[in-house]
């Protein structure tokens, strides 16, 4: 194992509302350190961030009032890697289909539809193939879940269910409409944390190269 693989990046978990401890457990299982993010100051020193599920309108209101939303936008636009699940995916989207405006972090070239699976279907579970993670499929727990209505060229859809995109990634973001933190399957969290490690190793290399060139 390389030094990069063994490193323990610090991943913040947004703790404004929603399921926090399950993400902390999943991140610890794949070798990351975690801390809770409630204020803009808590973003300092992070290598990555998880935005959990919950209620995106509540999250937008609370984080908007405190200034956290602006701070998040700045850090994420600046390249901080983010994993967003369910409401977290909604927060990272550039737009919402068929809904009124609500405060978002934005920045990912996707349009999502909230509560997309119909009022009757509030929650369901399904096997979701995620080819980049190999076999077996992930067990997707969908709770009043969104789907990805459309995605731009910077975005790779990595999972579909029922003909709809339910997970995607771009250079710095991974999003899922379902809740991987609620199962014991750590593959999505591992992919995220491995990506953070690779990015940190690359940045370290750049710094070494710059120092070496002087
Ligand atoms: N329905 C919620 C929303 O629109 C998301 C649900 C979830 O995160 N489990 O924000």
Distance 116 CA to ligand 1 centre (A): 10
Owning domain of residue 68: 3-213
pLDDT computed for residue 3 by the predictor? 45
DSSP state of 53: -
Measuring from atom 1 of ligand 1, which residue has the nearest CA?
A: 144
pLDDT computed for residue 213 by the predictor? 56
Q: How far apart are CA 122 and CA 132, in angstroms?
A: 28
Q: How far apart are CA 98 and CA 35, in angstroms?
A: 35
Nearest atom of ligand 1 to the alpha carbon of 86: 8
Helices (H), 42-163: 56-66, 68-77, 87-92
pLDDT computed for residue 18 by the predictor? 77
Task: Tell me how many domains the chain contains.
Answer: 1
Measuring from atom 4 of ligand 1, which residue has the nearest CA?
A: 114
Mean pLDDT per 10-residue section of the chain, whose length is 214 residues: 67 91 98 97 97 95 93 97 98 92 96 88 92 98 96 98 97 98 97 95 77 57
| CATH classification at residue 77 | 3.40.50.880
pLDDT computed for residue 106 by the predictor? 97
List all residues whose CB is within 6 A of at least one atom of ligand 1.
53-56, 86-87, 90, 114-115, 143-144
Closest CA to 188 of 131, 116, 104, 150: 131
pLDDT computed for residue 6 by the predictor? 60
pLDDT computed for residue 192 by the predictor? 98
Nearest atom of ligand 1 to the alpha carbon of 18: 8
From 19, 55, 103, 178, give the residue whose CB has the most ligand 1 atoms within 8 Å, as the site to mutate.
55
Other CB atoms within 10 Å distance of the CB of residue 210: 9
Distance 158 CA to ligand 1 centre (A): 20
pLDDT computed for residue 204 by the predictor? 76
Closest CA to 126 of 111, 147, 95, 152: 147
pLDDT computed for residue 122 by the predictor? 79
Is there a contact between 157 and 141 (Cβ–Cβ < 8 Å)?
Answer: no
């Amino acid at each position: 194992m390389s030094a990069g693989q063994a490193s323990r990046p610090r991943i913040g978990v947004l703790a404004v509302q929603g399921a926090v401890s399950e993400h902390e457990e999943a991140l610890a299982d794949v070798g990351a350190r975690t801390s809770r993010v409630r204020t803009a100051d808590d973003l300092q020193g992070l290598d990555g961030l998880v935005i959990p599920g919950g209620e995106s309108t509540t999250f937008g209101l609370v984080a908007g009032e405190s200034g956290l939303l602006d701070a998040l936008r700045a850090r994420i636009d600046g390249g901080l890697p983010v994993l967003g699940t369910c409401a977290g995916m909604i927060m990272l989207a550039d737009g919402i289909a068929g809904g009124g405006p609500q405060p978002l972090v934005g920045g990912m070239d996707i349009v999502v539809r909230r509560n997309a699976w119909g009022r009757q279907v509030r929650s369901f579970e399904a096997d979701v193939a995620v080819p980049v993670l190999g076999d077996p499929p992930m067990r997707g727990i969908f709770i009043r879940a969104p789907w990805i209505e459309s995605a731009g060229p910077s975005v790779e859809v990595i999972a579909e269910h029922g003909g709809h995109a339910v997970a995607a990634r771009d250079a710095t973001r991974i999003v899922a409409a379902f809740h991987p933190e609620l199962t014991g399957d750590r593959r999505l969290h591992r992919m995220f944390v491995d990506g953070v490690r690779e990015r940190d190793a690359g940045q370290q290399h750049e710094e070494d190269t710059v120092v070496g060139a002087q």
